[in-house]
Amino acid sequence: MEEPSNTVDQRGQLRQAPESFLSTELIASISSAGVNAERRGLLRAALTAALATAAGSSAIAASVGDDPDIVNLPEWSRTLGKPVLANPYGQPSKFEANIVRRQSPGLTQTDQSSVAFTPLQNLFGCITPSGLHFERHHQGWVDIDPRRHRLMINGLVREPLVFTLEDLLRMPSVSRMHFLECGANTAQEWGNSAVPTVQYSHGMLSGSEWTGVPLSVLLERAGFDKAANYLLAEGADGSGMTRTISMEAALDDAIVAYGQNGEMLRPEQGYPLRLVVPGVQGVSWVKWLRRLEVGDKPYATKDEASHYVDLMPDGQMRQYAAIQEAKSVITAPSGGQKLLQRGYYCITGLAWSGRGTVRKVEVSTDGGRNWREARLEGTPQSKMLTRFNFDWVWQNSPALLQSRVHDSTGYIQPQRAQLVAARGTRSIYHNNAIQTWRVRDTGEVDNVQLG
């Protein structure tokens, strides 16, 4: 697979000229950060002067050097800025224009039935910005007029119901944070075609706060048949995407969602209604949701019979394997980035489990021989991304970076060899193996498969 833009979509921190980096050991010497020793002396004199004044805002301006931003304050400190509401709906900085979703050329035959990947290497924390949420459509995305949209509940119910969006907005509401991962995330790692960046290897993944009506409330209101074990969820886009949902998942924590990250769903994410099925693969989170049919058997629709099945070593198909098992990935340093100076690095990544909560994440820098525990940011939420961080000092020597997650069920993320032993290499879906990033002694990072 061709890799079009590997050099432009990386955050600068790992790709800048060497002189812009400081190791922890060297941080006391600020000469390499753009202020040389002589100027530092001047800075110190300026500071002393500044301390004698009340507010001391002249410290930077008073330090004389060859940097125009130090001789004269930069223009943004000397001019009137832009008014409030210059953007009534705000946008990222113009300097972040390269941080976008990207398509993988050649991966799909059309742009309507395709994928746009999230730039995980550039993101922080566990919330995915809605503007960078991955896209996976089957017949393109639509921007539905919410006044004309309806949700029908039919099938084995006492009385079929049709809801408008306004009906749903007046009903009991819940807000919960959950990850969303396409079942085909990391698909190409089943083979030997290791893709170059984490955007393409793991970028069909997001974490969001979802708001909507518990699906159980809607089913109760329709008087669903208590003996029914399945639901069919159907979307209103041209593909008419249909998926079987188990009644167990539907009654547990599924949501008919209208909100994502505080606002209405984005059109690419199913505006105005999307089914949220926590822990289950993304294809079942049906977008532009228009119908839920209560039934007594799985529906064996196209996208759960010929697609989204795993071809096992014995030639059998593994079907309806919906839960996304525990998985983690280091997002930086990651493939396509480069370490330019020895010293401290904060290895960072994401961990999640479709069966519960992240309990522990371990990181190895030697390909899995030794493991140390990473710091988890915040309190892990059920079926939600957890950000981890890990202190590392790089000594200009080769390294193999891996992470593995332990979840609340006791499950431990498998090495690739373990997963392949059980499932072979002919699957497309449900690859949750440990990811390895190789750091060469030159500092270059690439994607390798061990074992």
Question: What does the alpha-carbon distance between residue 20 and residue 16 come to, in Å, rounded to a whole number?
Answer: 7
Provide, rounded to whole angstroms, the least separation between the CB of residue 371 and a second copy.
20
Q: What is the DSSP letter of 199?
A: H
Site track for a second copy across 421-450, x = CB under 8 A: ------------------------------
Question: What does the alpha-carbon distance between residue 176 and residue 421 come to, in Å, rounded to a whole number?
Answer: 36
Q: Of 70-89, which residues contact a second copy (CB under 8 A)?
A: 74, 76-89
Question: What does the alpha-carbon distance between residue 336 and residue 366 come to, in Å, rounded to a whole number?
Answer: 19
Both structure tokens of 292: 């839920």
Question: What does the alpha-carbon distance between residue 346 and residue 391 come to, in Å, rounded to a whole number?
Answer: 5
Task: For a second copy, give the closer residue by CB, 177 or 428.
Answer: 177
Provide, rounded to whole angstroms, the least separation between the CB of residue 44 and a second copy.
6
By CB under 8 A, name the one of 140, 196, 356, 368 that touches a second copy.
Answer: 140
Among 100-108, 273-281, 352-360, 415-423, the segment contacting a second copy (CB under 8 A): 100-108
285 contributes a contact to a second copy by CB under 8 A: no
CB 265 within 8 A of CB 259: yes
Q: Of 249-268, which residues contact a second copy (CB under 8 A)?
A: 258-259, 261-268
Question: What does the alpha-carbon distance between residue 416 and residue 100 come to, in Å, rounded to a whole number?
Answer: 29
Nearest Cα to 134, choosing from 185, 187, 177?
185
Residues that contact a second copy, how many (by CB under 8 A): 150
By CB under 8 A, name the one of 185, 211, 402, 436 that touches a second copy.
Answer: 211
Task: For a second copy, give the closer residue by CB, 290 or 406.
Answer: 290
Q: What is the DSSP letter of 290?
A: E
Provide, rounded to whole angstroms, the least separation between the CB of residue 239 and a second copy.
8
By CB under 8 A, name the one of 38, 111, 366, 441 that touches a second copy.
Answer: 111
Q: What is the DSSP letter of 94?
A: G
398 contributes a contact to a second copy by CB under 8 A: no
CB 154 within 8 A of CB 290: no
Among 122-130, 277-285, 408-416, 419-427, the segment contacting a second copy (CB under 8 A): 122-130
Provide, rounded to whole angstroms, the least separation between the CB of residue 450 and a second copy.
27
By CB under 8 A, name the one of 1, 4, 8, 150 that touches a second copy.
Answer: 150
Task: For a second copy, give the closer residue by CB, 224 or 288.
Answer: 288
Question: What does the alpha-carbon distance between residue 119 and residue 202 come to, in Å, rounded to a whole number?
Answer: 9
Mention every residue, 6+ apart, whose C-beta is less than 8 A from residue 89. none
By CB under 8 A, name the one of 1, 162, 393, 417 that touches a second copy.
Answer: 162
Cis peptide before 214 (omega within 30 of 0): no
Q: Of 312-351, which residues contact a second copy (CB under 8 A)?
A: 343-346, 348
Residue whose tokens read 């507010």? 55
Provide, rounded to whole angstroms, the least separation between the CB of residue 352 and a second copy.
15
Question: What does the alpha-carbon distance between residue 424 and residue 350 come to, in Å, rounded to a whole number?
Answer: 26
373 contributes a contact to a second copy by CB under 8 A: no
